[in-house]
Structure 1
């Protein structure tokens, strides 16, 4: 059965609940792995530092630039090339502003804790960035989406390499997802 057919069988509430549960699983996995992989939990928490300059430059501005590039690509390529099976459209077009804020904050925190905070700090930049891209498996059959997520994954991983700060990567990831979520919600991206 195709992903789009499965998606039609799921209610909006079940889709939202699945998103929340998957992200909570990522958080639990990150916390659990950190207990085994780090000598002290403070080793892991040291990656959270308030640095206004880096958060603004590499988090906010960088995230906005990525969104602008993505929006340009959305205009250049046919919509079928950006079709992820309808998940993003279904999730964000049927969510309130506050839900989009909550979902994208949860996603950015959960994914960055696991992929940058645990996997990248333990196994390195290349492995973490590759696994991050592969976890977004619904993009694997769409070359434009696959290339986009690979570049984004390596870019966010690189930001972590140069800043060593999860607050920066969480901010960047959040701005990308939040702004694109709002774009889908209020501009009907993906509408035929």
Structure 2
């Protein structure tokens, strides 16, 4: 599966890749909104769990930094093949401006956490939401390490949401991880 996806990605232009990324995130958000309406009778019920509490925002930021730090340590000590996603992350971030990386990672963090934490975890529990979160990151299914790391990350974000009951906390954590790693790819600090 990984090789097929990698080959498919190589056939896409940067514009097509970005269009697919934004379309995927829009689809995830729309699915979240529709499921929210179906389960709660309200389109945007997850937004009720966004609380602008500075300690929760800082907690999300610190958790995000911790994940980045752990990933960088693992990147130094483990074989590079363990981090091979078929070049997708490089294609997404390498030629983007920092502002575009900021926009991309805000969109990704918001849409994914709206669906997976705000809708699915709230209604079906941490384990189902975490499993589905890992599954949508299909490019990692052919790489046991990346898939396992994504599952553990999803469970960690799920526990963070469970303990804070604040969707903003996990959005900030998810954003921090993606934004910093995106910048590191952009400036060729990691591949």
Distance 1:43 1:74, change over 3 A: same
Please, what TM-score do these two structures have when normalized by structure 2? 0.95
Contact 1:23 1:107 in 2 (8 A): yes
Tell me the distance in 2 between the aligned counterparts of 1:3 and 1:50.
39
Q: Answer yes or no: is the 8 Å Cα contact 1:89–1:189 preserved in 2.
A: no
Structure 2 alignment gaps of length 5 or more: none
Aligned-residue RMSD, C-alpha: 1.3
For 1:133 and 1:106, the matched residues in 2 are separated by: 18
Query: By how many angstroms is 1:30 displaced?
Result: 0.9
Q: Identify the residue that residue 133 of structure 1 maps to in structure 2.
A: 134
Once the two structures are TM-superposed, the CA of residue 41 in structure 1 deviates from its matched residue by 5.0
Of the structure 1 ranges 91-100 and 150-159, higher mean CA displacement relative to structure 2 is found in: 91-100
What is the rounded CA distance, in whole Å, between the counterparts of 2:45 and 2:33 in structure 1?
A: 12
Aligned to 1:12: 14
Report the CA distance between 1:149 and its aligned residue. Answer: 0.4
Q: Taking structure 1 as the reference length, what is the TM-score of the superposition?
A: 0.94
In the alignment, the residues of structure 2 paired with residue 77 and residue 151 of structure 1 have an alpha-carbon distance, to the nearest angstrom, of: 17
CA contact (8 A) 1:7 1:87 kept: yes
Residue 43 (structure 1) shift: 4.3
> What is the distance in 2 between the residues matched to 1:128 and 1:68?
25
